[in-house]
């Protein structure tokens, strides 16, 4: 994975040599670094960044372009050109009209030295990250948070608003990061660079359009065609599948194995199994999917615990926080895939959001005076075998028949003022009915960006490239145009996706009426880590004390609720608290985890097996 970084100083020549030295230090001495130091913009690229130049205009491209051959044909240029050259040629012909036509996970920088102007562009769905720091008219930027932090003259302080949102937890506002003064550039944004600084403009957002009267069969046929296209666009040699027993990853596996050539189809699958929790273990189902697709399946079984210890290398490498506690088994699983020669790892990330139903549609029907339609819709929410009765319908009308407040719940141990937690527009720049805007927010919101960030960084730690075929712009635009009623099915969720992969996924997985609930795994791991959590959060001088009341926090840690769902919420709150303390320790120049505390609980083991 490469890095693009730069400093734009409209008032004078940027410090290019200093930039290059800092970037080389952050990448490691073995990484190649390219830099240009003339004029108001200093640029540097390292790792896998592609570079092209023509007539004084330079283009840096970091990431993967999924529709390069299609764009090359439309632009009338050779298809064998690299992504940077192709983008540069396209920009010469189309200017800013090029950006909505690109598909992929990327950040692009184009700079015209003579005009002293250019563009810095992030892909539509946030497959690659981009961060900014502004100081007066000077703008520093980088494609990874760590590189930008190391590029600045001094390390920024923690951002109290972002910290508070992480601890609750709730969505960190789009214009903030955990570092004060560093902002994340939203996906689908083009920054116009010039002598007047950097001006942001969103170049793409879904538009509300519907295909009225579309049947389930017709919608599923469209979805299957676009799913196949998404898989084919992301094809590559030495690929594998990160496979669970769920419909999303099973769909990606089935489509990949059915549509790709022998050289590009995945041959291996990698999974986690939990025999200690037979009620949720998907091992037999994963084995059936792998056998159907002729995949050699490798599974990991990990002992409980080690959640924070597994997260420490992630935080140290990226200066960012992982939002999920699954690294204790995911990290060694990815390392195993890399050791087996895998380079491209596909997964089913995003399917939940893309094909899910929009529950606020119920409130919309009531507000528009359509009570019979709302009553019918209330009987189609997936309930996994629960009979439809007038009571179940009435319950859904009470639950979803009005606008809901999704503001974060207050926590007794949080000592920051509530004014820091004001909510923001969940889907900025998107216009349409409320139910549709909610659907867009679920697909394109912070969850999508977070999924891209954590999977990209985790994969990079093992030398892998992640791939998310279900997070595809063309697929998303089509699904958003389907009649919303098609997403409601009493027997199971995501009926359009299930119908689209009929024949490609074994029916025992395709028609499975529920998702596994991994609450027992999270709870067991947290309980095994509890001595470390207590030592970390309750020790004298703990950094979390600036944000949480120590006595209230101690009572919270010592009082896990009994119902499993509430106990999971308790476990996740300790995860967010513990990871924040680790991150704050790193900012203070300390180890993420105290060595003596780690020694006191030991390192949980794991083992691999074939399914």
**What are the pLDDT digits (tens) for 176-205?**
899 999 999 999 999 999 988 899 999 999
Q: For tokens 């608290």, name the residue.
A: 577
pLDDT surpassing 70 at residue 291: yes
Among 311, 335, 315, 299, smallest CA distance to 529 is for: 311
**Helix 530-538, helix 307-318: angle, nearest 10:** 50
Rounded to the nearest 5°, which phi and psi values hold at 134? -110, 135
pTM of the model: 0.93
What is the average pLDDT across 217-246?
96
3-class DSSP state of 397? helix
| Average pLDDT of the residues in 450-476 | 93
- Rg of the chain (C-alpha set): 24
Mean pLDDT over the full length of the chain: 89
Which residues have C-beta within 8 Å of that of residue 107, sequence separation ≥ 6? 4, 61, 62, 63, 120, 121, 122, 123, 128, 129, 130, 143
What percent of the chain has a predicted confidence (pLDDT) above 90?
63
**Least confident stretch, 63-72, 279-288, 412-421, 555-564:** 412-421
Q: Which pLDDT does position 603 carry in this prediction?
A: 79
Across the range 450-472, mean pLDDT stands at 92
Strand 104-112 and strand 117-122: the pairing is: antiparallel
Tens-place pLDDT, residues 355-407: 999 999 999 999 899 999 999 999 999 887 778 888 889 988 988 887 665 55
Mean per-residue pLDDT, 25-46: 69
Longest CA–CA span in the chain (Å) reads 72
Closest CA to 346 of 250, 442, 449: 250
Picking from 478, 436, 492, 439, the residue whose alpha carbon sits closest to that of residue 224 is 478
* pLDDT value of residue 173: 81
Its sign, for the CA torsion 364, 367, 368, 369, is positive
Judging by beta carbons within 10 Å of its beta carbon (0-12, 13-18, 19+), is residue 298 exposed, middle or buried? Answer: buried
On the question of pLDDT at 310 being above 70, the answer is yes
Any alpha helices (H) in 10-80, and if so which ranges?
Answer: 16-27, 68-75
- CA 398 from centre of chain: 32
> Is the model's pLDDT at 29 over the cut of 60?
no
Residues 255 and 501: beta-carbon distance below 8 Å? yes
What is the per-residue pLDDT for 553?
93
Residue 500 phi/psi, 5-degree rounding, is -65, -30
**Cα–Cα distances in angstroms (integers) from residue 191 to residues 1, 106, 132, 198, in the given order:** 22, 14, 10, 6
Cα angle: 383, vertex 350, 148; to 5 degrees: 140
The answer to whether residue 515 scores a pLDDT higher than 80 is no
Q: What phi-psi label fits residue 599: left (phi over 0), alpha (psi between -120 and 50 degrees) or beta?
A: alpha
Is the dihedral angle over the CA atoms 558, 561, 566, 571 positive or is it negative? positive
pLDDT higher than threshold 90 for residue 577? yes
pLDDT at 419: 58
Name the more confident of 157 and 169: 157
For residues 151 and 7, the answer to whether their CB atoms sit within 8 Å is yes
Q: Which residue has the tokens 């240009």?
A: 36
Q: How far apart are CA 609 and CA 611, in angstroms?
A: 7
Q: How far is CA 394 from CA 361, 364, 375, 398, in A?
A: 15, 16, 8, 6
């Amino acid at each position: 994975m490469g890095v693009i970084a730069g400093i734009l100083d409209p008032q004078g020549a940027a410090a290019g040599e200093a930039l290059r030295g800092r970037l080389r230090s952050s990448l490691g001495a073995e990484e190649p670094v390219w830099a240009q130091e003339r004029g108001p913009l200093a640029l540097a690229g390292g790792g896998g960044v592609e570079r092209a130049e023509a007539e004084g205009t330079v283009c840096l491209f970091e990431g993967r372009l999924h529709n390069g051959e299609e764009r090359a044909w439309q632009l009338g240029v050779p298809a064998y050109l690299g992504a940077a050259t192709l983008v540069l040629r396209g920009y010469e012909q189309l200017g800013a009209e090029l950006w909505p036509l690109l598909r992929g996970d990327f950040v692009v920088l184009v700079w015209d030295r003579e005009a002293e102007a250019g563009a810095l562009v992030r892909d539509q769905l946030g497959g690659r990250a981009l961060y900014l720091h502004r100081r007066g008219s000077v703008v520093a930027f980088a494609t990874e948070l760590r590189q930008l932090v190391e590029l600045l003259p001094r390390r920024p302080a923690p951002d109290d608003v972002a910290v508070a949102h992480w601890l609750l937890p709730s969505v960190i506002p789009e214009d903030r990061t955990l570092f004060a003064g560093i902002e994340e550039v939203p996906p689908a944004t083009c920054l116009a660079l010039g002598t007047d600084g950097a001006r942001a403009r969103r170049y793409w957002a879904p538009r509300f359009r519907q295909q009225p009267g579309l049947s389930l069969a017709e919608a599923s046929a469209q979805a299957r065609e676009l799913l196949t296209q998404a898989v084919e666009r992301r094809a590559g040699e030495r690929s594998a599948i990160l496979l669970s027993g769920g419909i999303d990853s099973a769909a990606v596996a089935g489509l990949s194995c059915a549509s790709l050539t022998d050289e590009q189809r995945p041959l291996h699958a990698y999974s986690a199994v939990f025999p200690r929790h037979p009620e949720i273990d998907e091992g037999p189902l994963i084995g059936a999917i792998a056998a159907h697709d002729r995949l050699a399946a490798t599974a990991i079984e990990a002992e409980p615990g080690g959640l924070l210890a597994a997260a420490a290398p992630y935080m140290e490498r990226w200066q960012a926080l992982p939002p999920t506690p699954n690294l204790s088994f995911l990290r060694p699983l990815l390392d195993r895939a890399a050791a087996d020669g895998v380079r491209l790892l596909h997964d089913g990330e995003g399917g939940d959001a893309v094909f899910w139903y929009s529950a606020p549609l119920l409130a919309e029907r009531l507000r528009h005076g359509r009570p019979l339609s709302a009553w019918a819709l209330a009987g189609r929410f997936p309930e996994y075998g629960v009979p439809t009765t007038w009571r179940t319908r009435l319950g859904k009308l009470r639950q979803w028949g009005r606008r809901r407040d999704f503001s974060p719940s207050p926590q007794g141990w949080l000592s920051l003022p509530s004014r820091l937690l004001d909510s923001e527009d969940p889907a900025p720049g998107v216009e349409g009915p409320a139910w549709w805007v909610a659907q867009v927010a679920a697909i394109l919101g912070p969850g999508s960006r977070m999924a891209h960030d954590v999977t990209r960084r985790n994969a990079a730690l093992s030398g892998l490239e992640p791939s998310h075929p279900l997070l595809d712009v063309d697929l998303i635009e089509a699904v958003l145009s389907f009649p919303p009623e098609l997403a409601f099915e009493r027997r199971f969720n995501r009926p359009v996706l299930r119908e689209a992969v009929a024949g490609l996924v074994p029916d025992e997985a395709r028609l499975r009426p529920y998702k596994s609930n991994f609450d027992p795994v999270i709870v067991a791991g947290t309980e095994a880590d509890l001595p470390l959590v207590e030592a970390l959060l309750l020790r004298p001088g703990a950094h979390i004390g600036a944000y949480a009341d120590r006595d209230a926090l101690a009572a919270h840690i010592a009082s896990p609720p009994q119902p499993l769902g509430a106990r999971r919420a308790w476990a996740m709150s300790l995860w967010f608290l513990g990871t924040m303390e680790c991150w704050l320790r790193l900012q203070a120049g300390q180890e993420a985890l105290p060595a003596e505390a780690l020694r006191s609980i030991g390192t949980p083991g794991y083992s691999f097996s074939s399914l």
